[in-house]
Structure formats: structure tokens, C-alpha cells
Structure 1
Amino acid sequence: MFYDTLSNAHGMAHDPFKAIVAPRPIGWIGSRGRDGSRNLSPYSFFNAVSDRPKIVMFSSSGRKDSLRNVEETGVFTANFVSGPLIGAMNASSVAVPYGTDEFAIAGLTPVDGRLVDAPYVAESVAVLECRVTTITTLKDMGGADTDSHAVFGQVVGIHIDESVIREGRFDLALAQPIMRLGYMDYAGIGPIFELGRPKPPTAV
């Protein structure tokens, strides 16, 4: 099958786009408003985009509370979602009025960042403390603004629980990452294997 995305006439029960671009890490974003209120929300559009410097990005479809908070304060945390935290992550996705504390809803322990004025999840095995570098409203191919907004943040501090460090590595088998698929689907990781990069052929 083929369909153009302007008409989006795919004939399926649900749009397959996000299922095709999968899996994606979950951006579990912790932030604080100018009024001091805490917010914790999972975003399905999240990833690392650079390692020199270390920069991550999450995208908000619509002007959600996390976007408002990072615009006001310029900082946020990205919290690692592991298997034991699936229920809490899902609980924090509930739509509630601005100023409602999702940490409390999800039964999680908020901790203030060491380098940024934003809360993080104490129960998370890894946390990135981030300072905003860019917030941009995404444009379509005609140059018109959309209602999607990308937030880029430079990682200034990293927390790692000692329980997931093995042989000098952040061990993903121990950390049990949960990934976002399409629709309402999620997945853990299967067997982990290493794959070395091929070496260029030797000149004759």
C-alpha cells in the first residue's frame, strides 16, 4: 500500500506513523513552574540528538504544562523509565489542571536537581539534568507554524543508580528500559548483543 500524508487516507483503523518510527525512548520530563508547582509528564517524541555537547530533545504536541514550565524556567529533567516504573509513568500521563503534582499522583518521590531548579524522580535509575538551549515551533513544508514545539536541552548533570552499573558500564539489562511503540503499545528490551562497526577495506 501507499498513501500520501496530506490526505492521510491510509484506510487503516489507526494512523501507523508512530508505529513505523519505533521504538522510541520515553521522555519522562520533570519541571517546575514559576509558581513553584511540580510537573512530571511522559513524552513519546524524545531522543538524544548530540553527544558533543550532550543534547536531548522532546516535542510537545500542543502547548502542554511541561512546555510552559521550561519556557518560564529554562530547565528540566529527563527521567529514565524502567520496567518497575511502568505503572507510575502511565499514572503521570493523566490530564489534570495546571499546578497538579503528578509526582504525588504517581506515588513518586520528587528530588530537587543539583544543578537545575527542576524536580526529578528519586526512583529512576538514571536522570539527566538539562538546561534549555532552544525552543522552536515546528513548521510544515510550506513554512507555516504548527502546534508542535520542540525543546532542546543540554545535559549538565547525570544521576546513575549504582545498582545498574556493572563492569564499568550503565547496564541496560539491569536498567530494564521501557520503550514507546505505536498506538498504546510499549515494549521492554530483548536479548542484548554487540555489533562492531566494519573496518574499511585495506588498500591494495
Structure 2
Amino acid sequence: MRIDFDPAQCDRDVFYRLLTATVVPRPIAWVSTTNRDGSCDNLAPHSFFTISCVSPPVVQFTSVGRKDSLRNIEDTGAFVVNLAPEPLFEQINATATDFPHGISEFDAVGVAREPSVRVKPPRVAASPVALECELHSTLRLGDSTVVFGRVVHAAVDRAVLTDGHPEVTAMRPLSRLGKDEWATIGGLREIARVPYTEWQGGEAGSTTD
């Protein structure tokens, strides 16, 4: 038996918790930004994150409400998506604290920076992958804003590359689940996609005269 939830009738937070517990796991964009005058670097995890386009390379994350990350990106047109790795779990969670405006999460939490190559915001020095982005566009949806960033530079730690390709077991990315739950990569399963010409469940694999 199913229980029905009508978003028009539910409390906003109730349906938010239902969505975030259902759409799992969600990769984390650990977004670094800089304010307009360059006096404060911001760092915050955003778990509504994915790839939007490959050519040109565009990634997106959603800011629920208007936070420093969004304001800084609107002001400067740039941000960095840093991979959120398992060894930095506690620091990543700490940067989600609602620090007052003007306080840098890098400094408050003790996260080491390194300069970016193409954009002004710094990268997280200990993150194995950083995607430097220039703002492509934003889309306002209700209480949230979707931020699209064109990736103009990618920096990958040699230690996580195997044959030139990022290896997930070396990167050890975290993901968000519902409530206060997080997930590691856990066990892995591999399976190749089956071309239709080799599909044995239909007629494509058979031949007729």
C-alpha cells in the first residue's frame, strides 16, 4: 500500500525532506566563490548538482534560497566546483554552517586554498578535482536558483588518475542522502552497455534471409 503526498497540501519542509530522501545519492558540489572586492572567499557544499552539457562543458548546481555562493557568483561571474572527498568529510559538513555574511568558511573551518588558473575564486587545495567555471546563466525557480557554469579549466590530482582517467576509488567522493545522512562510494559494480545489434532479448541479434 502506498501513502500519497500532495505537494500542494504538504508543508514545504515536509516535501523537501521527502524529495531529498528519495533522490539519492546526490553528488556534492563544494563551491568556492569570492565576493565582489575580493576581500572574502566563500566555500559551501551544494547537493543539487549535476552535468548540464558536454560541448560546451557546463555544470549546474542549485542554491536553495539566496546564499553567499549565489550572490558572489552573480557579482563576479565565476566559481569553482571542488570534488568533496571522503577524507574531508568533517570540513565539508562544517562549511555548511550558517556563518554570518563576511566570514570566510576557508578561514573559519581551516580549509587550505590554492590559486585557480582561469578564475578569481580559489580552489580547495586538498580536493582531488577542481572545475573552474565562468557563469553561463541562472534560472530562478520558486525559492531556488539554478546556476549554470561553463567549465573553463579542470585541475586533477595526478594521484587519482589511472591511464589519464579519474579513478573513483582514488577520488573517494562523498554524496548526500536524506536527513543528516551521507554516503561513500561503497561497493562497485561494472556492466557494459549492450549495443542494440548485440541485444539478445529482441530481434536485433537474429538474422533472416
- CA distance in 1 between counterparts of 2:112 and 2:129 reads 14
Partner of 1:120: 123
Per-residue deviation, 1:166: 1.7
> What's the offset of the Cα at 1:195?
1.7
> What amino acid is the match of 2:174?
I
1:166 aligns with 2:162: yes
Could you say which residue in structure 1 is the equivalent of 2:188? 192
Aligned equivalents of 2:107, 2:46: Cα separation in 1? 19
Larger strand proportion of the pair: 1
How many angstroms apart in 2 are the aligned matches of 1:17 and 1:162?
A: 36
Q: 2:171 aligns with which of 172, 175, 182?
A: 175
Whether contact under 8 Å (2:82, 2:131) holds in the other structure is yes
Q: How does 1:100-179 map to 2 (within 5 A)?
A: 100-138=103-141, 146-179=142-175
Structure 2 equivalent of residue 8 of structure 1: 10
Separation in structure 1 between the aligned mates of residue 16 and residue 144 of structure 2, nearest angstrom: 20
**Structure 1 residue 110: Cα displacement:** 1.3
Which of 36, 39, 44 is the matching residue for 1:41? 44
1:96 CA displacement: 1.2
In proportion to residue count, which structure has more helix? 2
CA contact (8 A) 2:7 2:15 kept: no
Deviation at 1:171, TM superposition (A): 0.5
Q: State which of 75, 78, 89 in structure 1 corresponds to 2:92.
A: 89
Aligned-partner residue type, residue 15 of structure 1: R
Distance 2:79 2:174 in 1: 20
Cα root mean square deviation, aligned? 1.7
Alpha-carbon displacement from aligned partner over 1:15-52 (angstroms, at most 9, x marks no partner): 32111111011111000001211000111211112212
Q: Distance in 2 between matches of 1:161 and 1:13?
A: 39
Change (3 A) 1:16 1:72: same
Tell me if structure 1 keeps the 8 A contact 2:27–2:50: yes
Q: Give 1:165 deviation, angstroms.
A: 0.9
**Unaligned 5+ runs, structure 1:** 139-145
Work out the number of aligned pairs and report it.
195
Are positions 1:61 and 2:57 aligned together? no
CA distance in 2, matches of 1:112, 1:73: 16
Kept in 2: contact 1:115–1:157 (CA 8 A): yes
Q: Identity percentage over the alignment? A: 36
Alpha-carbon deviations, 1:50-98, whole Å to 9, x = none?
Answer: 2122111111111100000000000000000111010110111111122
Segments ≥4 residues shifted beyond 6 Å: none
Task: Give the TM-score, by structure 1 length.
Answer: 0.90
Paired residue for 2:22, among 20, 23, 26? 20
The separation in 1 between residues aligned to 2:101 and 2:5, in whole angstroms, is: 38
